[in-house]
A and B are shown apart, each in its own frame.
Chain A
């Protein structure tokens, strides 16, 4: 065992990268669920975002246009979910699962001609002064924009839910849609916006995998991250900062355990391999001891006449 082989600066830097796809997808889903909708199609929206972003980035040579396309692609797929659940009043669980299946199929179709192609590199920011601080600079201030965008979205969602009237209305819709409707709020319209936001975030998360973390296009490349994001929202008791904590814990321990393995630490590999799941769940379950619960109308179908 030789722990000195692990470079803590590189470790922290790569854990932030590893955590970002989960973080983006989870914060989007958090908004959707706070508005009272359960969208299980996160995996499908992520993979659709991954290929839309990849394709556009390759065609235009601009990773930023790629990320924009990924957000639009994810939102477009979630619009399918909107039609099914908000207008046709279909079952949300079934629709969400269908969305995942559809997204996986659609993405492999779209991705046929993009296998083995190298995307344009996503540049890391170099912030004058900040990036030059020893240790802290390379760890915190030398990543790509999307990584910071993820953190900014978490902060924005937290502020929205906690301080604004819009956030209050959204929570009302999620807690009791009949009461919100009686008060005159447009339940369906608010939910549609939340779902589209969730789709866009998931799409960004997917593109982060195909453009930054791997970077390449491979069929099925999200490999279940969307499901982890879904679970994370529940374990984080629908609270934005806990989603951030959970995503960083999960991403961090995933990278850390690989590092420990490579350094030859004498902990059995099985324990290392399951540690990201176990530790994340344990920490978030302990945190959720404050009796937070799911939004009251989560997953229920709303119809104004009923």
Chain B
């Protein structure tokens, strides 16, 4: 069936490309901005927020820009074709919004030196390739604090997507804070190897709940784990990438909200003005790229106050989620007392901190 599926995807890309070509022919003086999405824009999570950013660009510049997007693009070679097609159709700036688009973005960028590329959450740059990401781990620290305080079974479930630094960073950050407020806390981590598959995400949430977790953190894109937690009852969750407020006040008790709009507007402006340069942007709560969704009434006031205090401290730079003394999982020293992690280590993080059980898949 692989061959057939490829044909299907090729067909999908061709149909989209056709639409884009027609649009491009009509107006050539516009700045054209392309977006490559890993899931559907209606996923209610990650891709939804990137699409909100796209809409904000349209809103900001009106007639001066034209945006195009292709959703449900598989990571890997298929994405390369979609990007190539976008570039051929006259895109001036292309945002590729998933980690797995890293090498394809670099490859396509080589072929189109005049097109600017922006790759989300990766670490490879080139003259015409920037990277951008948000310091989600700052939000994860706050989640960890709330989760550690809320759990009664002392088991926190964590649905991981792929074992890449971004996800591992989130697990570590949440664990460190959860452990601080609740020394008995245990993390159960399940890897589902997908960013978006509601049925599988729901299964993973159910399994974690069956095995005793009463707080479930997710690093996947759909709201399915929220629905599973709601059905199970007595389980708390956090909105991931988007507010997921439709599941408040329970199970969703807070959320991490990605706000890409300011960055997308800034970079589009830079292309229009001809001032675009390759950068590696990594913004957090302070810059507003990471937002913390409303902490609901299910959370006791003192926990809520502590969480908001932590948010303010992170925003002001007073606190860093990775501050020593910290050891790695194998017991070796990582950060000395008072020392904070540097961005290089964080960007390539491939180890758990001390206390987390299990191995990271290699």
Q: Is the CB of A258 within 8 A of B357?
A: no
Asked whether A213 is an interface residue with its Cβ less than 8 Å from the other chain, the reply is yes
User: Which residue from chain A places its CB closest to the CB of B40 in the assembled complex?
Assistant: A219
Q: State the CA gap A261–B205 with chains docked (Å).
A: 12
Mark out the residues of chain B between 244 and 267 whose CB falls within 8 Å of any chain A CB in the assembled complex: 244, 246-247
Q: A97-B8, A214-B224, A259-B207 are in contact. Are A219 and B200 (CB under 8 A)?
A: no
In the complex, the chain B residue whose C-beta lies closest to that of A121 is B231
A14 to B, closest residue via Cβ: B206
Are the C-beta atoms of B224 and A218 separated by less than 8 Å? yes
* In-complex Cβ contact of B39 among A93, A214, A220, A225 (8 A): A220
**Interface membership of chain B positions 182-199, coded 1 if the CB is closer than 8 angstroms to chain A and 0 otherwise:** 000000111111101111
Shortest Cβ distance from residue B204 to the other chain A in the assembled complex, whole angstroms: 5
> If the complex has contacts A216-B223, A220-B40, A269-B191, are A262 and B208 also in contact, measured as CB distance less than 8 A?
yes
Report yes or no: A115 in contact with B210, Cβ–Cβ below 8 A. Answer: no
The prevalent SS among residues of A at the interface is helix
Q: A230 — nearest CB in chain B belongs to which residue? A: B1
Across the interface, do B211 and A262 meet the contact criterion of CB distance under 8 Å?
yes
Give A261 to B203 CA distance when docked, in angstroms: 12
Contact across chains for B42 and A115 when beta carbons are under 8 A apart = yes
**A116 vs B191: C-alpha distance in the bound complex, in angstroms?**
25
- Distance to closest chain A CB from B243 (angstroms): 11
Residue total for B at the interface (Cβ-Cβ under 8 A): 53
Instruction: Out of A100, A227, A258, A268, name the residue touching B190 (CB < 8 Å).
Output: A258
Instruction: List chain A residues, Cβ under 8 A from B210.
Output: 7, 10, 14, 259
Whether, in the assembled complex, A254 has its beta carbon less than 8 Å from a beta carbon of chain B, the answer is: yes
Query: Is residue A89 within 8 Å, beta carbon to beta carbon, of the partner chain?
Result: no
Task: Determine if A115 and B203 form an interchain contact, defined as CB atoms under 8 angstroms apart.
Answer: no
Task: Given A215-B231, A219-B40, answer yes or no on A40-B211 (Cβ-Cβ < 8 Å).
Answer: no
Q: A100-B8, A216-B227 are in contact. Are A14 and B222 (CB under 8 A)?
A: no
Chain A positions within 8 Å of B357 at CB level: 264
For window 124-177 of B, CB contacts with A under 8 Å fall at 157, 163
Asked if B43 CB lies within 8 Å of chain A CBs, one says: yes
A116 to B246 CA separation, bound complex (whole angstroms): 6
Interface members, chain A 117-168 (any B CB < 8 Å):
117-118, 121
A5 at the binding interface (Cβ < 8 Å): yes
Q: Which of A221, A261, A273 contacts B199 (CB 8 A)?
A: A221
User: Is A220 a contact partner of B202 (Cβ separation < 8 A)?
Assistant: no
Number of interface residues of A (CB under 8 A): 51
Task: Tell me which of B41, B192, B200, B212 has the highest count of chain A C-beta atoms within 10 A of its own C-beta.
Answer: B200
21 A-B pairs whose Cβ atoms sit less than 8 Å apart in the complex: A6-B211, A14-B206, A93-B4, A97-B7, A97-B8, A97-B11, A101-B11, A108-B40, A116-B246, A214-B227, A216-B227, A218-B223, A219-B43, A221-B222, A223-B197, A223-B200, A225-B199, A258-B190, A258-B192, A259-B211, A261-B189
Residues of B within 8 A of A (CB): 1, 4-5, 7-8, 11-12, 15, 39-44, 72, 157, 163, 188-194, 196-200, 202-204, 206-208, 210-212, 222-224, 227-228, 230-231, 244, 246-247, 357-359, 361-362
Interface residues of A (CB under 8 A from B): 5-7, 10, 14, 18, 21, 40, 93, 97-98, 100-101, 104, 108, 111-112, 115-118, 121, 209, 213-216, 218-225, 227, 230-231, 254-255, 258-259, 261-264, 266, 268-270, 273
